Amino acid sequence: MRRCPAASPHRRAPRTGSTPDRSAPSSRWSCASFPAVVVPAASWLDRGDCCPPCIVQVIESRNAGGAPLACPGRLTDEVSTSGRLAAVPRGPRRQRVAVVAFFAVLGLASGGWLARIPAIKHSLQLSDGMLGVALLAAPIGLVALVTLASRVIDRAGSRATAVAAGTGAALLPIAAGLAPDLPVLMAALFTFGGLSGLMDVAMNSQAVQVQQRFGRPLMSSFHACYSFGALAGSLLGGLCAWAGVSPAVNFVLAGLPLAGVVLLAGRWLIPGRPPAPGEPAGGQRAGDERAGDERAGDERAGDERAGDERAADSGGPAASAGRVSRLAVSRTGLRWASPLLLLGLLAVCSLLGEGAADSWSAVYLHDNLGTSAAFAALGFAAFSVTMAFGRLTGDKLALRFGPAVLVRGSGLLAAAGLTGALLSHSPAVVVAGFAVFGAGLSCTFPQLLSAAGNADPARPAGGIARVAGMGYAGLLGGPVLIGGVASAVGLTAALGIPALLALGIAAGAGAAGLRPAPRG
């Protein structure tokens, strides 16, 4: 192995007596931080290309005598005649396990709470209207704190935020189970929703960074862990209800172990450095790129400009969700730009469809088709199961076809499934249609969040918080919109809205900056 002159991140490399042999066909440049990714050596500094896993424009500096500026990935020049990829070291594997644990914990806590709602309604003697008001507190808290999550993470770091919020989210259902009246229940649910939002942005930020270290798509599998966790939490909650265990005892028995998992897994998360006073929220990367913009190029010396403050494709995160090009990065961090805004609109379309299936699939089967309540529940069950299993395949599909093709195909599949369900009068066909609808939506939101995080890889929480905030607003307002339209034109026509929005997802996938990553 021969090391590149780029020695340490964010510093000009020292002079060395030799330079890497970039003409040798067997040479491969790989990133020491993310060794699962390699690119041909001759294609790297000669064209001023980006180090794929770092998404940082590395340039040659005239003042350093032609030596390349150091890359945050600490590039090494590995000579390999076999072309085999290096194994992922133990650290990233532990980080992946930790992120999986956080997604599963949030799913278990959410699913366990949903399963005990009937018991809490009975114990507090709430009417349907009062229960509806109480349940609205959690999504309001979620949307409210998701919009503030990037600021919290900028100050505390994503690891500290995930651990603190995750511990609270695991334990707060206990407060809901012990609530003596409606106001206390609403306060507990608002706080639970808010902490869930903070945890969501923080763990998705960690997921983007883990993808960088592995150099391949992982985001869909992380979200699959949440889906399976929610299913498991619902089953455990149902078993406790069948056994006559009170909600408070149920939440204590589940919450304490979940909090312990959060504290243990948090030790393996990627440590985040809060920005120094006066430092832009984008971190050192933005500063390095601006410094690169200020250096004049020298064609004879091979100097090139970093310029344009652009995020380039990477073999890591971009392989899972493409890239978001030409996003505006300023001294105050990530600003809204058209690709990021479009990602948010696509997230609204995706989560509005999820909210519609959550709230209205059983109602449609029961009221419009006259099925029993037990059979009507199969609509949402089929939707949830196919969404969970669909996310297990999302990473492989993103790697094989690219994220833009995956999101486009997912939108078309979702539209076809829901349209088929609405055109049929057979309950079995309708359940199958909702299953296809769930499979179609399963991979869209994870890919959109991953692309948002890639907008500024040094500060992924900024893009994730914005896109997730818009998406969760759709999740909150979607069922209300469907209900209002249904009261005017009927539920069948109202459920056509998510089908049309799924077509919008397919149409907007290409324009949102979802592109396959260059292969090494």
Q: What is the mean pLDDT of each run of 10 residues along the chain (520 residues)?
A: 37 39 40 42 36 38 38 36 43 90 96 90 88 88 91 91 96 94 95 95 92 86 94 91 93 96 94 54 40 38 37 37 40 53 93 91 91 88 93 91 92 96 94 96 93 82 90 89 91 94 91 50
Whose tokens are 């914005």? That residue is 466
**249, 270, 291 — which closes off a domain?**
270
- DSSP label of 60: B
Asked if residue 468 lies in contact with residue 146, where contact means CB atoms within 8 angstroms, the answer is: yes
Three-state SS for 56?
strand
As a whole number, the mean pLDDT across the chain is 75
Query: Does residue 26 fall inside a structural domain?
Result: no
Read off the CATH number of the domain in which 467 is found.
Answer: 1.20.1250.20
Residue 144 lies in domain? 92-270
Q: Cα–chain-centroid distance for residue 390? A: 15
Tell me the C-alpha distance between 256 and 308, whole Å: 49
**Residue 129: per-residue pLDDT:** 81
Contacts of 338 (CB under 8 A, 6+ apart): none
The answer on 347 and 204 residing in a single domain is no
Q: State pLDDT tens for residues 198-246.
A: 999 999 999 998 988 888 889 999 999 999 999 999 899 989 999 999 9
Query: Does residue 55 fall inside a structural domain?
Result: no
Tell me the C-alpha distance between 183 and 166, whole Å: 24
Asked if residue 505 lies in contact with residue 350, where contact means CB atoms within 8 angstroms, the answer is: yes
Q: To 5 degrees, how large is the angle CA 178–CA 182–CA 186?
A: 85
The answer on 370 and 476 residing in a single domain is yes
Domain count, the chain: 2
Q: State pLDDT tens for residues 414-466.
A: 999 999 999 999 999 999 999 999 999 999 999 999 888 887 777 888 889 99
Query: Does residue 446 fall inside a structural domain?
Result: yes
Q: State pLDDT tens for residues 317-357.
A: 333 333 333 344 443 344 445 678 899 999 999 999 999 99
**270, 300, 321 — which closes off a domain?**
270
The answer on 346 and 208 residing in a single domain is no
Query: Does residue 68 fall inside a structural domain?
Result: no
Query: Does residue 40 fall inside a structural domain?
Result: no
Strand 75-79 to 27-31 pairing:
antiparallel
Three-state SS for 190?
helix
**Structure-derived torsion over alpha carbons of residues 197, 477, 226, 379, reported in degrees to the nearest 10:** 160
The answer on 356 and 217 residing in a single domain is no
Tell me the C-alpha distance between 473 and 193, whole Å: 13
**270, 294, 326 — which closes off a domain?**
270
Specify the pTM: 0.71
Beta bridge partners of 77: 2, 29
